[in-house]
Amino acid sequence: MKTNFDVIILGAGSAGCVLANRLSANPDIEICLIEAGSRDTDPRIHVPIGFAFFGDKTNLSWNYETEPQRGFDKVPVESPATAMVDSAGGVHKVHTDVTEHRRGFQPRGKTLGGSSSINAMLYVRGHRWDYDHWSALGNFGWSYNEVLPYFNKAEHNEVINNEFHGQNGPLNVCEIRHSNKPTDAFVKAGAKVYSYNDDFNGAEQEGIGYYQTTQKDGKRCSAAKAYLVPAMDRPNLTVMTDTQVNKVLFDNDTAVGVQCTTKEQKAVNLTSNKEVILSAGAFGSPQILLRSGVGPKAEIAKHGIDHLVELAGVGKNLQDHIDYLSVHQYNSLELIGLSLRSIFYKYPVELIKYLFKKTGLFTSTIAEAGGFIKTRDELEAPDVQLHFAPAMVVDHGRTQLWGHGLSCHVCLLRPKSTGTVTLKSADPEDDPLIDPQFLSHPEDIKTMVQGYKKMMAILNTEPLQKYTKDNCKRPVDINNDRDIEQAIRESADTVYHPVGTCKMGSDSEAVVDERLRVHKTRRLRVVDASIMPTLIGGNTNAATIMIAEKAADMILQDTAT
């Protein structure tokens, strides 16, 4: 087994796959890509609608839970039975009623392609303002005009050919190959209330329209499919799956390798001649840094880990999109759902359409249309995002409902609440402690309430109204802000975009510089969504791929000197 490489990449998610491809294109650089999950062979990854059937037990996801969120309502929880002795000496088991604030669910990809192999495949870049804001914070080279070439470098857009899109990149972007009347009705209704937008990634983001998707020929185009598969036969690229990284190895302040455990539970040390790159995501990268002794001393030392480098911001600045779903039941085969008619009539027909033409329901992203709107006219950029789904989605799809219906998400794009991720223990097998502190800032719930009203203005407009009127699974009084807030606290949760825990910058909580090098260390970088100093206004997968494209150029420049 080869144990010495020039560059070791920790994590084969959206960023890691890009890096593996771009860096191994230089035959003089020996690359090792390490992934904790298995290979991406599960057919549910590649058939687009399959992601809706992963559930919370799949080994393709880390399936994390957050700490109890004080911004959420309290719910009953299971408690262990306690023994009580009566006056006659008899022992009885007694169950006590226990409640705690609701925990959030945090699925993250655990396979080649990472979360790009289990997400809804929406291609969204965020708003121009987001990247100009990064630059204004002192992160030179990260303005919109400077990152746009990397978005375009990554993309092959089947539909749009202009200065905002690429045509020759590895990542295929296309229209959804599933048309249905309810989604069309949402777009028509939304265009009446707001404006129609045929390209959320073009000159303007604001408006209502259809999402583009990372698919090719009716199949998911994950980062693994786009970047890793074409590079797998290169002799200078080694890919290790089912391998858990314990920590980065240091010689003083210089990263010289990694310690990991293979599928066979064999401890292995790998050495690097040039760089170690963390691409394990907003939860994984800070965990590895902390286990390596890099971060706040108090959080590291309490787990018996030797503290090497003081970096106060490791695991801080966690930001995520909080999201509320309005769910409506409507008996129509036009909508995705479970019924005798759909099982015995619709789905067999749709399966045939997919097998022979790669079209129809099995290509659906579930969240097929949506939009970006402002809750206040004076804002520079939209502050809420909508995702429309022609299906009833409850509790991240973990609760299956009988019947048909639709859902609409309202998502807060730039929350002011920030949280943390830290270690539960020094054991790499232990889940981290994730605390997004959702709705801890009072402005967030106010904006969510206004966003809900904006969403309902669309849902209550024809031709969509016939599906939604009087059909809401959790009726809400649109004229009562307290009732809207209560509904949000009952069931709002992430829409799967955690970022910021190894943020880029030069302030006291920054972890990496503008070239993504970890402060106070040498030959160590972080390249993934954790480096985002602020959360972008949109889905984060395309931006993570852009970050890796830009980082690859910087790494090639730096390792050549």
Could you report the per-residue pLDDT of 427-437, keeping only the tens digit for each? 999 999 999 99
* Secondary structure string (H, E, C) spanning 398-439: CCCCEEEEEEEEEEECCCCCCEEEECCCCCCCCCCEEECCCC
Note the pLDDT tens digit of each residue in 32-54: 999 999 999 999 999 999 999 89
Note the pLDDT tens digit of each residue in 458-511: 999 999 999 998 899 999 999 999 999 999 999 999 999 999 999 999 999 999
- The structure tokens listed for 328 are 């409506």
Neighbours of 345 (CB within 10 A): 12
One-letter identity of residue 145: N
Q: What 3-state class would DSSP assign to 5?
A: strand
CATH numeric code, 4-59+108-158+222-314+500-559: 3.50.50.60
The domain segmentation of the chain, as residue ranges, is 4-59+108-158+222-314+500-559, 68-101, 177-210+322-412+439-491
Q: Report whether pLDDT(323) > 90.
A: yes
Closest CA to 40 of 198, 182, 227, 208: 227
pTM for this predicted structure: 0.96
CA 294 – CA 275 distance, rounded (Å) = 16
Q: What band does 80 get if pLDDT is binned at 50, 70 and 90?
A: low
Q: Report whether pLDDT(230) > 90.
A: yes
Closest CA to 452 of 490, 493, 489, 411: 411
**Of 3.40.390.10, 3.40.50.300, 3.30.410.40, 3.40.50.720, which CATH number belongs to 177-210+322-412+439-491?**
3.30.410.40
Q: How many residues does the chain have?
A: 561
Q: Report whether pLDDT(224) > 70.
A: yes
Active site residues: 497
Q: List Cβ neighbours of 163 (8 Å cut-off, separation of 6 or more).
A: none
Mean pLDDT, residues 272-299: 98
Q: Report whether pLDDT(83) > 60.
A: no
**Radius of gyration in angstroms for the set of CA atoms belonging to the chain, rounded to a whole number:** 24
Mean pLDDT, residues 77-103: 69
Q: List Cβ neighbours of 482 (8 Å cut-off, separation of 6 or more).
A: none
Q: Report whether pLDDT(268) > 80.
A: yes
Q: Report whether pLDDT(561) > 90.
A: no
The share of the chain scoring above pLDDT 70, in percent, equals: 96
CA 372 – CA 123 distance, rounded (Å) = 14
**What is the DSSP track for 88-148?**
TS-EEEE---EEEEPPPEE--B-BTTGGGGTS--B-----HHHHHHHHHTT-TT-SHHHHH
What pLDDT sits at residue 559? 84
CA 268 – CA 265 distance, rounded (Å) = 9
What pLDDT sits at residue 94? 57
Q: Report whether pLDDT(92) > 80.
A: no
Q: What band does 385 get if pLDDT is binned at 50, 70 and 90?
A: very high
Mean pLDDT, residues 172-189: 95
